[in-house]
Amino acid sequence: MLRLNAHQPDFVDRFDALVNGRREADADVSTIVEQVIRDVRARGDVALLEFTERFDGFDLNAEGWRIDAEQCKAAFDGLAPELRDALKLAATRIRAYHKAQLPKDRDYTDKQGVRLGARWSAVDAAGVYVPGGRAAYPSSVLMNAIPAKVAGVERLVMVTPTPQGEINPTVMAAAYLAGVDEIWRLGGAQAIAALAHGTETIAPVDVITGPGNAWVAEAKRQLYGVVGIDMVAGPSEIVVVADAKNKPDWIAADLLSQAEHDPTSQSILFTDNAGFADAVAAAVEVQLAGLSTGAVATESWQANGAIIVVERLEDAMPLVNRLAAEHLELAVDDKRAEALFAQVRHAGSVFLGRMTPEAIGDYVAGPNHVLPTGRRARFSSGLSVLDFMKRTSFIALDKAAVKAIGPAAVTLAEAEGLPAHAESVRKRLK
């Protein structure tokens, strides 16, 4: 685990190395993913059968391609009441938050008499990828599927790998709650290719969202343009800005909440107190020993974790903005949290105050937990209803409006050497 102090003479260089460090998978997956996509496009269902048997260890024809609605309803009914109620609470809060995101249409007439506006509409079909390898996440089902349904998507398709044919019942229950229309037992780059291009069995979609491993992320990147995507997501990350008034074991748990995701995840603490930094580091080691995910979290913490001591927490904020992390906790008194938040320019989602752990946002707060990673928060945002919608502008002119603005259009068209453009307006001016 990296320890840095802003007073160190080599701090700038070492922090630059931290910012620019690459945590995505080192394997060159691009060529293989390209081959998978080409194979699925050419051979359709046959390719999916072969890939599923090779990577997930079961026969789709023998065990079934789809998970039907009755299975999902049965899974929901069979959950322990506490878990069922937790899923329902999460779904209710996620749905309410995303309903408030719905954009409004515009329709007005300007001073020249030109009617202008825009109308929002949902895509016809959306695909959601839900991981099923290292772990299965029902929360990801809710976070991806509910915004799509709120946006008005009529056909919502979920793909999820089922290794050895095993289906996670909580994932099925979440799909039932979210209103997923189709569930296919497919994973990896081949599932993304099937959603984008379609096969004999699976109709294509317009947008694909959801997290996945390096192969899934690369497939989404390559297929962007054939379909829309939410983002190319990398390993999870958290930055915590905390003073010494916090309990060290709370902050340690916050850091490990992301480290346990994957060995390539990253957890970083900024603090203005060296003694507190030591206490958090010690608490992390204690908690690692008791975590069932300790092996993964230890590898992540040792390879990618960092504790950085600064003179003042305000000094940390320019550094935080350079990291542009997926999750940012400001674990300070509420008033100070607001002051620090005012300095935040780049972060996927921000958690304000000592009583707001990032894990709340993963499940039941309401905002989406599908967020930009790998410093992409500099230019992108978390998943929202807008990822499942598009805006269509419209224009309407009468004779007076054409007379008011048409001559300028003619002039510009002629300046660009496009006489047919100019003539299409000029004829109406006559």
Inter-helix orientation angle 30-43/188-197, to 10°: 50
Q: Which residues pair with 227 in a beta bridge?
A: 224
The dihedral through the CA atoms of 357, 359, 361, 363 has a sign that is: negative
The question of whether 7 is a catalytic residue gets the answer no
Q: What b/e string do you get for 411-423 counting C-beta neighbours within 10 Å, with b at 16 or more?
A: eebeeeeeeeebe
DSSP letter assigned to residue 367:
S
End-to-end CA gap in the chain: 75
Q: Any residues with CB less than 8 A from the CB of 414 and at least 6 apart, and which?
A: 422
Q: Any residues with CB less than 8 A from the CB of 156 and at least 6 apart, and which?
A: 125, 126, 128, 145, 148, 149, 178, 179, 180, 181, 182
Give dist(CA 156, CA 360) in Å, integer: 26
- Our measurement of the distance from residue 181's CA atom to the centroid of its chain's CA atoms, rounded to an integer in Å, reads 21
Catalytic residue among 218, 237, 260, 326: 326
- Please state whether beta strands 115-122 and 389-396 pair in parallel, antiparallel, or not at all (unpaired): antiparallel
DSSP one-letter string for 219-250: HHHHHBTTBEES----S-EEEEEE-TTS-HHH
Catalytic residue among 98, 197, 327, 369: 327
Task: Report CA-CA distances (Å) from 216 to 33, 50, 161, 224, 297.
Answer: 9, 17, 11, 12, 22
Q: Residue 226, CB half-sphere, CA atoms under 13 Å: how many?
A: 17
The question of whether 326 is a catalytic residue gets the answer yes
Give the residue numbers marked as catalytic. 326-327
